[in-house]
Chains A and B, each alone.
Chain A
Amino acid sequence: AQSVTQPDIHITVSEGASLELRCNYSYGATPYLFWYVQSPGQGLQLLLKYFSGDTLVQGIKGFEAEFKRSQSSFNLRKPSVHWSDAAEYFCAAAPYSGGGADGLTFGKGTHLIIQP
């Protein structure tokens, strides 16, 4: 079955430190991959997406993600976090197909806490 795994439920990072959030997927073929952020009480905002091509993807708010086919991973990174980055982060995938049930499969989320 298709699945997306975010191994870390919570991560605590000091302000100004670097960040890496892990995401692994299990699909028959390489899916389309996304990272969304949800701030407290807010909806979902797309940070970045990977469809094909360059495996290092740049997103908004200084985030980037690297697709590694050999590891079935799509980890999210930021070189220096700000207190405003505290939020819930979701990795998601959609199958690489032309139609059918192609909704997003989400990971369970990683809650990011920023320490002053």
Chain B
Amino acid sequence: EAQVTQNPRYLITVTGKKLTVTCSQNMNHEYMSWYRQDPGLGLRQIYYSMNVEVTDKGDVPEGYKVSRKEKRNFPLILESPSPNQTSLYFCASRGQGRETQYFGPGTRLLVL
């Protein structure tokens, strides 16, 4: 089954404690991205990757890092989480061209 998976689905942490949210897709997609969803703001892109070892900032990259060492994986790293990063995070992927983006199930993060 074609899918985008994220782990963990729920996470509670404390300010300053580094965390990683994993994202994996099994569709051999080149393009992957991370979004955060906040009430009243919709979804905003954090980072994206056009292919292995190619990443770039989206609209709200501050406080986040990403890496793309393998085509299927695109982890989101919060080196020092802060309460304003409490949000619902979605990973997405798509193939080349104008294909549909497929979204993961989301990771709900609470930073205390």
A interface residues (Cβ-Cβ under 8 A, vs B)? 9, 32, 34, 36, 42-44, 46, 49, 51, 90, 92, 94, 99, 101-109
Contact = CB atoms under 8 A, between A and B. Distances in A.
A104 B104 CA distance: 15
Contact of B98 (A36, A94, A101, A107): A94
B58 A103 contact: yes
Interface in B29-55: 31, 33, 35, 40-45, 48, 50
Given A90-B43, A104-B92, 6 more contacts: A36-B103, A43-B106, A101-B58, A103-B58, A104-B43, A105-B45
B98 A32 contact: yes
Contacts of B35: 103-104, 106
A90 B45 contact: no
20 contacts: A9-B40, A34-B100, A36-B103, A42-B105, A42-B106, A43-B103, A44-B90, A92-B43, A94-B98, A101-B56, A101-B58, A103-B33, A103-B35, A103-B45, A103-B48, A104-B35, A104-B45, A104-B101, A106-B44, A108-B41
B36 to A, nearest CB: 11
B40 to A, nearest CB: 6
Contacts of A109: 42
A43 B98 contact: no
B42 A46 contact: no
Nearest to B45: A103
A106 B48 contact: no
Interface in B9-47: 31, 33, 35, 40-45
B100 A101 contact: no
Contacts of B101: 104
Contacts of A94: 98
